Amino acid sequence: MKLKFFIFCLAIASVCSCRVNKPSDLGAFYSFETECIGTEYDGSLTLRVWGGGNSKSDALNQAMKKAVHDVIFKGIVRGVNDYNMRPLVLEANGAEKYQDYFNRFFADKGDYTYFVNLKDEKPNSRQVMENKQVYKYGVTVRVLRSELKQRLQQDGIIK
């Protein structure tokens, strides 16, 4: 009887320990911060950014918006060789102060699309983390930082 109980417990333990982790299980431990992969001599940045949404296209658009938003307001602090890029808008409440401008700027098919593209993306480089509610796509984008800075200066957002 003790032998049967021991074998039963051993079987349960082996089944429980062989559970395979899905990408959605690993997503809780993954960092979804924007990171710099490289810089170009024309002032553009190649970034690895994550976007979430209900569909693939929605997640891709959110990733591109997030890349431009991080360059403008947050700065890029992760990346190759401890990359550290200051944000373009240095005012403490810049997003709230110019809220009307940036609401139009980041609207669907808004002006942000002129400053971001998928030119540097390699085939099969997109990463997907999904669960039942949302898809997370990791994509490589290029942000034209110098053109973006020039546009914000023309519009009177930065000096």
User: Position 150: which residue type?
Assistant: Q
As a whole number, the mean pLDDT across the chain is 78
User: Position 109: which residue type?
Assistant: K
Helix (H, G, I), strand (E, B) or coil at 87: coil
pLDDT at 5: 66
Helix (H, G, I), strand (E, B) or coil at 82: coil
pLDDT at 139: 87
List the single range of 8-22, 34-48, 141-155 with lowest mean pLDDT. 8-22
Q: What percent of the chain has pLDDT over 70?
A: 69
21 band by pLDDT with thresholds 50, 70 and 90: very low
User: Position 61: which residue type?
Assistant: N
Give ∠ CA 136-121-55 in degrees, rounded to 5.
30
The Cα–Cα gap between 128 and 138 comes to 6
Give helix then strand counts, H and E, for the chain.
Answer: 6, 6
33 band by pLDDT with thresholds 50, 70 and 90: confident
Match 């810049």 to its residue by tokens. Answer: 94
List the single range of 3-17, 25-39, 60-74 with lowest mean pLDDT. 3-17
- The per-residue pLDDT for range 36-93, each reduced to its tens digit, is 888 888 888 888 898 888 888 888 899 999 999 999 998 888 776 656 678 899 888 8
Sign of CA dihedral 148, 143, 37, 127: positive
Q: Which residues contact 119 (CB under 8 A, 6 or more apart)?
A: 142
The dihedral region occupied by 97, where left means phi > 0, alpha psi between -120 and 50, and beta the remainder, is alpha
